[in-house]
Each structure stands twice: as structure tokens, then as C-alpha cells.
């Protein structure tokens, strides 16, 4: 056992980071989880994360842990919430700062790193039991995603470069956990002038081939900044 070498006049908590990374594969909203190598909750599924070092910012710690455990790099991380209840970790008092990221599954390959036994994407609707209070952390992440859908555009980070209106609707339905009327959805989305139709259609599909669209990046950034109210 390592000697206790760091001493303080007052008791100090430990600080960790946890990363809530959502991905979308055109059917399911998925969450990135790792299988823990060490106790507590050994072999249990958990959010990627770990202890903050004293010589790195909290956000840098989130990036480092995500990279070490899952191979992911260069993500846009947004701070989600800090979890500060007293008994959330059986080892000692641990305060955790959670971060949140959205990505396209097709653009990122993940692989278990040094501190994780396995890494996998789970559909948000079918998550395994999670270590620590990570179910609560994930609930906060989903709540943030739902709130965002209401007042700013989402999808740029989650959908591929071109997508059908059906795929976009599926994303909204998955995040909002409710089905939407197809005609109303299309009318609202198209009226925002957020989408550009492409002269390209689905191929090899049994049903009528749907047209592809892409986001107008300038308009997307504008709406993101200005906000709107997407009433459903």
C-alpha cells in the first residue's frame, strides 16, 4: 500500500470528473459506458471519468479521462452539473463535476483504454445498472438534452452530414421520448430555414425514397445564439 504522503491542516474532499457522452445512430440515442477494472463497483458499468490531478484544470481532467478510458479525443465538452452529496462514493468524500458531449457514432471509434475493461454504447432506453450515482448523472444529461431541444437547434453534432427528415424526426422523438406528428414536425422544422434540401435521395429502400437534407451551418449557429421556442 502506498504511504499517505499528502497532508493538510483541514480535511479535503477528492474531486472527480464524469463524462456523459451521447451518440445517435439514426435509430437510437446511445450513451457511452465503460466497465470498471477496480473496486468499488468492480466489473460494473459506469460513466467514463476519474480523479482530477492538481496540475490540470477540471475540464482538462475530463478530456484526459475520456481519452484514456475510451480513446475519444477532440470533443466539445460542456459542463453539466457538479454532484456534491456527502455519501456518493464508498471510498471517501468525492465531489464530481460532470461534463456532457454529443457526437455522431459514425465519426468516432471507441476502444477500452488503460483504466477500463471494456467500453460500449448502450441505448439510453436500455441502460445496465450503473455504478455510484451515475444514474442520477445520466438523468441530468438527458434533462439538459431535452431542455436544449426546446430552445435551440440540435442535431448538427448527432446526425451525419446528410440525413432525411424522418431521421431528424426520429432524433427529436428519441430525445423527447414522445412521438411527433409527421406533418407538423416537417412544417415547423422547414419554417425555421435551418435545412437545405440536397438533390439526392435514399437508394435501395423498400418504401418511397426520401430526400436528403443538410443543416445550414450559418443559420444553425444563428438560431443557437438567438434561441427559439420549439413547441411540441
Q: List contacts with a copy of itself (CB under 8 A).
A: 1-15, 51-59, 61, 79, 81-82, 84-86, 93, 95, 97, 147, 150-151, 226-229, 231
Nearer to a copy of itself, 112 or 180 (CB): 180
Instruction: Please report how close the Cβ of residue 51 comes to a copy of itself at its closest, in angstroms.
Output: 7
Give SS3 for 195: strand
Nearer to a copy of itself, 13 or 90 (CB): 13
The answer to whether 68 touches 60, Cβ cutoff 8 Å, is no
Question: Least distance from C-beta 2 to a copy of itself, angstroms?
Answer: 5
Q: Are 30 and 125 in contact (CB under 8 A)?
A: no
Residue 9 C-beta: closest distance to a copy of itself, Å: 5
**Cell numbers given for 70:** 475510451
Query: What are the CA-CA distances from residue 27 to residues 46, 140, 169, 171, 222 (Å)?
Result: 23, 22, 10, 7, 27
CB 195 within 8 A of CB 214: yes
Separation between Cα atoms, residue 60 and residue 25, nearest integer Å: 28
For a copy of itself, the closer CB: 61 or 119:
61
Q: What minimum distance in Å lies between the beta carbon of 105 and a copy of itself?
A: 29
Residue closer to a copy of itself (CB basis): 203 or 225: 225
Amino acid at each position: 500500500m502506498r504511504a499517505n504522503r499528502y497532508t493538510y491542516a483541514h480535511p479535503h474532499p477528492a474531486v472527480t470528473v464524469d463524462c456523459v457522452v451521447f451518440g445517435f445512430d439514426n435509430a437510437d440515442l446511445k450513451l457511452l459506458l465503460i466497465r470498471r477494472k477496480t473496486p468499488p463497483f468492480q466489473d460494473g458499468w459506469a460513466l467514463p471519468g476519474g480523479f482530477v490531478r492538481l496540475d490540470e484544470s477540471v475540464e482538462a481532467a475530463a478530456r484526459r479521462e475520456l481519452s484514456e478510458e475510451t480513446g475519444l479525443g477532440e470533443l466539445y465538452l460542456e459542463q453539466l452539473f457538479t454532484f456534491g452529496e456527502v455519501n456518493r462514493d464508498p471510498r471517501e468524500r468525492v465531489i464530481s463535476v460532470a461534463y456532457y458531449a454529443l457526437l455522431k457514432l459514425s465519426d468516432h471509434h471507441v476502444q477500452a483504454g488503460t483504466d477500463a475493461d471494456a467500453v460500449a454504447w448502450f441505448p439510453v432506453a436500455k441502460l445496465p445498472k450503473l455504478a455510484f450515482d451515475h444514474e442520477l448523472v445520466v438523468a441530468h444529461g438527458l434533462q439538459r438534452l431535452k431542455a436544449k431541444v426546446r430552445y435551440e437547434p440540435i442535431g448538427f453534432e448527432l446526425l451525419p452530414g446528410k440525413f432525411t427528415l424522418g431521421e431528424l424526426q426520429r432524433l427529436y422523438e428519441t430525445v423527447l421520448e414522445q412521438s411527433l406528428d409527421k406533418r407538423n414536425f416537417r412544417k415547423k422544422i422547414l419554417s425555421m430555414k435551418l435545412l437545405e434540401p440536397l438533390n439526392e435521395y435514399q437508394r435501395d429502400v423498400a418504401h418511397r425514397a426520401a430526400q436528403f437534407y443538410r443543416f445550414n451551418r450559418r443559420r444553425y449557429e444563428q438560431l443557437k445564439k438567438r434561441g427559439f421556442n420549439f413547441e411540441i
